[in-house]
Amino acid sequence: MTGTLFIITAASGTGKTSLVKELLGSTDNLSVSVSHTTRAPRPGEVDGTHYHFTDKQSFQALIEASAFLEYAQVFDNYYGTSKQAVMDLLAQGIDVILEIDWQGALQVKAQFTQAVMIFILPPTRQALAERLSNRGQDSQEVIQKRLAGSLDEMRQYDQFDYIVINDHFETALSDLQTIVKSHRLTLRAQQSRHAALIAALFDDAPIHS
């Protein structure tokens, strides 16, 4: 039995992390792959929970060992997804979420053609700018740099399977839940999940009333 790989991408400040957290808390048999990154932890982030924080030398060693399913440079830092961690979860029949940028999403899609790709967009550019400013963690110069980078990222939306607009949080969450549930009802997923049941339905053994 194999799980479904869901790729969720969004520009910085779009609210992806909060949405994914709530999605995980409200959906069974769903796990998120914890990425590696070379950026420093933000306040409240825990190593091994939010990211595997590592230095650039160690990250490079993992690249050379072909340990990543995908990796990319975003701004001045690197991000990567452990190949073995994802494969182990999928093999157990667990659906997996990858929170990665659009470059990594396309890398993964090339290897997992059945992966489900979701892009989260903000309702307006102004809303995105306000969300980046309200974090209170970065200087105005850094905020403007992130905003410009976010706008470039969002132009890749048309390479994805689904778009979710994060205007109202509960609506966006419901949209994500619907996407996951609908893919669990596809022919491929149901054949895998209920293989024994389906086999029994078409067994030639006599039926006893």
Which residues line the annotated binding site for ATP? Answer: 10-17
Report which of 73, 80, 77, 117 is spatially closest to residue 97, judged by C-alpha positions: 117
DSSP state string for 10-56: E-TTSSHHHHHHHHHHHSSSEEEPPPEE-SPPPTT--BTTTBEE--H
Q: What angle do CA 118, 51, 181 make, to 5 degrees?
A: 30
Please name the helix (run of DSSP H) or strand (run of DSSP E) that holds residue 120, with its range, or none: strand 116-121
CA dist 145 and 33 (Å) reads 27
Question: Residues at the annotated binding site?
Answer: 10-17
Tokens 């799980």 locate to 3
Report which of 19, 18, 44, 56 is spatially closest to residue 176, judged by C-alpha positions: 19
CA dist 145 and 158 (Å) reads 23
CA dist 177 and 93 (Å) reads 18
Distances (CA, A) of 199 to 40, 91, 193, 203: 51, 21, 12, 6
